Amino acid sequence: MARLHLFDLDGTLLHGTSAPVEISRQLGLEAETVALDREIEARRIGPPEYARRVHALWEGLTPEHVTAAFEGAPWLTGIRETWAEIRVRGEYCAVVSLSPSFFVERLTGWGAHAAYGSRFPAVPFTEPVDPAGVLSAAAKVKIADRLCEQFGVSRADCLAYGDSYSDVELFGAVPVSVAINANQHVTALATHSYAGRDLWDAYELVRHAR
How do residues 65-74 score in pLDDT, each as one tens digit? Answer: 999 999 999 9
Decide: 118 and 51 in contact? Cβ < 8 Å.
Answer: yes
| Percent of all residues in the chain with a pLDDT value above 70, rounded to a whole number | 100
> How confident is the prediction for the chain on average, in pLDDT?
96
Helices assigned H by DSSP within the chain: 19-25, 30-41, 47-57, 63-72, 79-88, 101-104, 137-151, 168-173, 184-189, 199-204
Plot region of 43 (φ>0 → left; ψ -120 to 50 → alpha; else → beta) = left
First to last CA, the chain: 10
pTM of the model: 0.96
In terms of Cα–Cα distance, which of 143, 10, 149 is closest to 75?
Answer: 10
Taking residue 191's Cβ as centre, other Cβ atoms within 10 Å add up to 16
Using one digit for the tens of pLDDT, what is the confidence trace for 166-183?
A: 999 999 999 999 999 998
Angle, helices 47-57 vs 30-41, to 10°: value is 180
pLDDT of residue 210 exceeding 80: no
* Cβ pair 192, 177 in contact under 8 A: yes
Closest CA to 155 of 165, 144, 169: 144
